[in-house]
Chain A
């Protein structure tokens, strides 16, 4: 389950604060759309909704920052970057290992057949 590609609409059912929480939890770049129409792409690593002026903090695409953006300036946040926590590399690793083991097993079985005339049944 990943939010990659999600473009949330801020409305009565989805508050900006909720979207910020999802973006904070997201391990990929997002695009912050500001109320003035400008956009900034980067990784949101922090937010503070308890501060007198709630804000998010991000490093931009080039790694520059941190930049603070007040909630009041944000129209929405688009989940545009690749979700680096998505997928399951461990399962892929296990599957590859199992295949290798099976292949090794098959190869040694073939060797045994080749070296042991008895196993050919005469």
Chain B
């Protein structure tokens, strides 16, 4: 695993504190969407289909910071839209670093090289670059030629300037395990700190409905990709989550683990489903009918979902819930064998 010790320590002490205080539901990663505008229109994305006046809008830095303080999660992921198109992204990052939040700025990296001068390297700031595979596969996923090369250029420039860089890969049906393994080699050779993987979620608003992974296929694909994982591959996520994707671990969803805030408010119940909005974080936590979500609930929309925003928090919670969970995590981390 490639998560730095200081970040591991922050997350571990936060989770233990929640457990000691008897808090049953706590957020781990705030998904902060300052805007929905994007410079790509990827086939599997259901985040940007809005009328023009909504795409032109964005949150203020003050609104973002208020949400971060309200939520209290130690990690803030900034997706979107494309966060590098947010006019105050530099100011937002400064504010979050001041608050010692670990930031994952999720970008397609088209603007990364051009905007790097706005940021200073920090252990708190990671550029999490969207890369869905080798050149041809990535360009097909984002529906535009040349984006892979632009992203590689951005990654290289960021690494040269001392920034933390990870990749963030969404997998769809039809992904080739062999090509993905080549992709892992290529990304590690580029020098990224680690990689994040997740199966795609079948957004009802996404243009491509035919290629979302179902559970059995997800398990098969991840087993084929990761069974003989190479020592040089570093993953910037819980190893138990990866084992879950491989079908070696059974978890239930933690929809409150990655709460989402955007211009509409606090999204119910999770980052992927939009079933309404709460005005405050407290209202979200207290009035969402959590029992209606996750596999056990029988909710059809949750049936095939194995996405990181629902299950990574479960894996982290499992690690700190029992000696067994902790021992499993340590064993996988030390041996590197998933």
Residues of A within 8 A of B (CB): 24, 27-29, 42-43, 45-48, 57, 59-63, 66, 81-82, 84-85, 87-91, 93-94, 97
Residues of B within 8 A of A85 (CB): 46, 49, 204-205
With contacts A87-B207, A90-B208 taken as known, whether A45 is within 8 angstroms of B53 at the C-beta atoms is no
Q: Which residues on B sit within 8 Å (CB–CB) of A45?
A: 54, 264, 277
- What secondary structure prevails in chain B residues at the interface with A? loop
**In the complex, which residues 259-287 of chain B have their Cβ closer than 8 Å to any Cβ of chain A?**
264-265, 276-277
- Other than the given A29-B53, A57-B277, A63-B56, 17 more pairs (CB < 8 A) read A24-B276, A27-B50, A27-B51, A43-B50, A43-B51, A43-B53, A45-B264, A46-B276, A47-B276, A63-B53, A84-B49, A84-B50, A85-B205, A87-B207, A89-B43, A90-B143, A94-B140
Interchain CB contact under 8 A, B207 and A46? no
Residue on A with the closest CB to B43? A90
Whether the pair B277, A43 counts as a contact (CB closer than 8 A) is: no
Q: Which residues of A contact B57 (CB under 8 A)?
A: 59, 63
Measured CB to CB, the residues of B under 8 A from A are 41, 43, 46, 49-51, 53-54, 56-57, 140, 143, 204-205, 207-208, 264-265, 276-277
A29, A45, A87: which has the most chain B beta carbons within 10 Å?
A45
- Which residues of chain B have C-beta atoms less than 8 A from A59's C-beta? 53-54, 57
- From residue A58, how far is it (CB to closest CB) to chain B in Å? 10
Complex Cα–Cα for A85 and B50 (A): 8
Q: With A45-B277, A63-B56 as given contacts, are A88 and B49 in contact (CB-CB < 8 Å)?
A: no
In the complex the two chains form, what is the Cα distance from A103 to B299 in whole Å?
Answer: 46
Bound Cα distance A97, B204 (Å): 24
Q: In the bound complex, do residue A89 and residue B276 qualify as a contact, i.e. CB atoms below 8 Å apart?
A: no
| Docked CA distance A89–B142 (Å) | 11
Residues A81 and B276 in contact in the complex (CB < 8 Å), given A63-B57, A90-B208, A91-B207: no
Complex Cα distance A87/B49, Å? 11
Task: Give chain A nearest CB distance to B162 CB in angstroms.
Answer: 37
Q: Which 10 A-B pairs have the closest CB atoms?
A: A90-B43, A90-B208, A63-B53, A85-B205, A85-B49, A90-B207, A84-B49, A93-B143, A45-B264, A46-B277
Closest to A62 in B: B53
How many angstroms from the CA of A57 to the CA of B49 in the assembled complex? 18
